[in-house]
C-alpha cells in the first residue's frame, strides 16, 4: 500500500489538519489511487466526490460518497479494496467503520485508524481533542498497548506495512510489525516539533524547521535541496525523492522534485509546470510521476525510462507491481 505520508496525512490531536505546503483541494484534480495491493485499489475521486473500490480486474465493488463528503480518511485492511473509514473534517470523529459495520470501538472524540490488517491488528490514534492523546496498538493476542502522545501527531509506514515512523511533538517513534502486531522499537528526539513524511525499511524522513533523514540509529541527517520548502517525499530501500508544490503569480501550479542521497544531499532536481503525484517503487530503484494525463517512470538519477499516456494516477504495490488508473477509470497492471 501507499505509505501514509505520501498521501500528506497529518493528524493533529485537536482533530484539525494542516497542509500549508500541500496543494489546495480543487475540483479539477483527477481521481487518485489512495491505497493499492495486488488484489485491487481504493480511489479518491474529487470529480465524483466519492471514494470507491476496484478489484484487480477494475470492477467497482463499492462506492462511498458519504465518507468522502465527511472528510474521512480511508485505508485498506490486509487486501485492497477492503476499506476502513475513520475521521471527520469537522466535529467529533464517528466510530471507525468497515463495509460490514463498526471496525473498532472507541470512546475518544478523535479516533483515526492509521493502519490495519483487520480489527484485531490495527493502530488507532485517540484523543479527547486536547493537545494530549495516545497511540493505541491493537494486537492479535494480548491487551491493547497505549503510548502517550503530546502535540501534533503523524504516521508514515513503508510499502510492506512492516515499518512505520510516528511523530508526536519533538519525538519520532519507530515501529515494527510481525505476527504479534505492532510494537515500538526505537525513538529519536529533536529540539523542535517534527512530523513524519515517509518511511521505507530502515529509512524515514521527518520535517520540522528543517527536513531530516532518519535511519533508526545514529544522528538525524539534515536534507539540503534547492526546494523552497518540502511538502512530502517518496522513499524506497535504495532511493529517496522529496517534493514541493507552489503557484506562480498567475495561479499556475508547479511541482519541484529533488533526488536525495543517504547523506541528505541533492543529486538531481526537476520542475514540472503542473501538480504531480509522486510514488516510489518499494526498492527505490524507480519512481512514478503522474501529471497532465500521463505517468513517467524515472530512475534514481531522475531520467525518464518509460511513459504511459492516458493515466490519471499510478502507484506501486508492496511487491513492486505498478497499478495505473487510466483517465477512463480502468486499472492497468505492469510487471515488476
Contact 133, 13 (CB under 8 A): yes
Provide mean pLDDT across the span 164-171: 95
pLDDT digits (tens, 9 = 90+) for 92-118: 899 999 999 999 888 889 999 999 999
pLDDT grade, residue 40 (50/70/90)? very high
* Count of structural domains within the chain: 1
| pLDDT mean over 87-96 | 88
138 within 8 A of 120, measured Cβ to Cβ? yes
CATH number, domain with residue 290: 2.130.10.120
Whole-structure pTM value: 0.90
Quick one: pLDDT at residue 126?
94
For 163, the domain range is 4-334
The per-residue pLDDT for range 5-23, each reduced to its tens digit, is 333 333 434 333 333 344 4
Amino acid at each position: 500500500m501507499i505509505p501514509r505520508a505520501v498521501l500528506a496525512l497529518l493528524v493533529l490531536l485537536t482533530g484539525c489538519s494542516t497542509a500549508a505546503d500541500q496543494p489546495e483541494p480543487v475540483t479539477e484534480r483527477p481521481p487518485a489511487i489512495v491505497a493499492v495491493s495486488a488484489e485491487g485499489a481504493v480511489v479518491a475521486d474529487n470529480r465524483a466526490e466519492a471514494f470507491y473500490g476496484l478489484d484487480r480486474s477494475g470492477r467497482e465493488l463499492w462506492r462511498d460518497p458519504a465518507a468522502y463528503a465527511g472528510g474521512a480518511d480511508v485505508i485498506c485492511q490486509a487486501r485492497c479494496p477492503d476499506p476502513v473509514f475513520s475521521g471527520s473534517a469537522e466535529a467529533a470523529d464517528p466510530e471507525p467503520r468497515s463495509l460490514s459495520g463498526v471496525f473498532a470501538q472507541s470512546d475518544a472524540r478523535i479516533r483515526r485508524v492509521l493502519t490495519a490488517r483487520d480489527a484485531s491488528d490495527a493502530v488507532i490514534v485517540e484523543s479527547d481533542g486536547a493537545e494530549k492523546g495516545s497511540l493505541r496498538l491493537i494486537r492479535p493476542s494480548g491487551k491493547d498497548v497505549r503510548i502517550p502522545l503530546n502535540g501534533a501527531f503523524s504516521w508514515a509506514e513503508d510499502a510492506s506495512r512492516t515499518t512505520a515512523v510516528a511523530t508526536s511533538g519533538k519525538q519520532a517513534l519507530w515501529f515494527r510489525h510481525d505476527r504479534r502486531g505492532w510494537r515500538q522499537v526505537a525513538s529519536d528526539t529533536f529540539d523542535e516539533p517534527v512530523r513524519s513524511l515517509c518511511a521505507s525499511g530502515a529509512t524515514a524522513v521527518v520535517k520540522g524547521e528543517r527536513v531530516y533523514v532518519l535511519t533508526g540509529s545514529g544522528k538525524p541527517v539534515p536534507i539540503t535541496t534547492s526546494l523552497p520548502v518540502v511538502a512530502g517525499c517518496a522513499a524506497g530501500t535504495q532511493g529517496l525523492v522529496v517534493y514541493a508544490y507552489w503557484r506562480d503569480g498567475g495561479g499556475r501550479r508547479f511541482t519541484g522534485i529533488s533526488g536525495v542521497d543517504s547523506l541528505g544531499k541533492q543529486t538531481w532536481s526537476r520542475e514540472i509546470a503542473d501538480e504531480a503525484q509522486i510514488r516510489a517503487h518499494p526498492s527505490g530503484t524507480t519512481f512514478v510521476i503522474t501529471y497532465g494525463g500521463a505517468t513517467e517512470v524515472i530512475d534514481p538519477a531522475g531520467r525518464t525510462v518509460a511513459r504511459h499516456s492516458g493515466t490519471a494516477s499510478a502507484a506501486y504495490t508492496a511487491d513492486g507491481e505498478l497499478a495505473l488508473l487510466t483517465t477512463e477509470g480502468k486499472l492497468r497492471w505492469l510487471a515488476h
